[in-house]
Amino acid sequence: MVLKREKVLSFLNFIVTMLLTIVFIFTVLLVINSKTSGENTTIFGYQIKSVLSGSMEPDIQTGSIIFVKTGGDMSRFETGDVITFFVEENMLITHRVETVESDGQMYITKGDANNGTDIEPVHAENIVGEYTGVTIPYAGYVLNFANTKEGAALLLILPGVLLLFYGLISIWRTARKFDYKKKEMKSEAD
């Protein structure tokens, strides 16, 4: 019974160690990618964008991150597609296409939570890409924090410290088991 319990604990220890390692590596890669590419964090060909307003709620909540598929023909979009585009202030907006004009060269867009359509039509050359439908709620707050000096330092250091602390606990437990077995063997010899 004790042996089975030790095997289960050992397996759980392995799983937790692997998960912490994966989270650490993913965080390091995300922070480094975010720092080197500025605001254009890309994973597997998809740009990650933070949502700063509630114009697309309830489907896309403020503070979420969304995945945007970039590239391709920017005149391919149809009514109902959700696109990410630049506006004059060099700001990104993600809204739904309401009307397609000029054979896909201009789009009239609207935020789902907004009362009316956007004032300016979107030109095809200002489109970054299409929203994929993948949203991670509240992760945008973390991504925005990671783009600060303090956030980058914390997100690089904290997972490493946690992994180191967990490793020290594992070593301590193993050393305790070794001492216990050593004492058992000594008492059996006496």
Sequence-distant (6+) residues with CB within 8 A of 139 are 63, 64, 65
The 8 Å CB, 24+ separation contacts for 106-109 are 107/77, 107/83, 109/83, 109/85
Say whether 55 is catalytic. Answer: no
Identify the three-state secondary structure at position 67.
strand
Which is catalytic among the residues 37, 53, 64, 102? 53
Instruction: Using alpha carbons, select from 75, 85, 78, 82 the residue that is nearest to residue 96.
Output: 82
* Rg (the chain; Cα; Å): 25
Q: Kindly list the catalytic residues.
A: 53
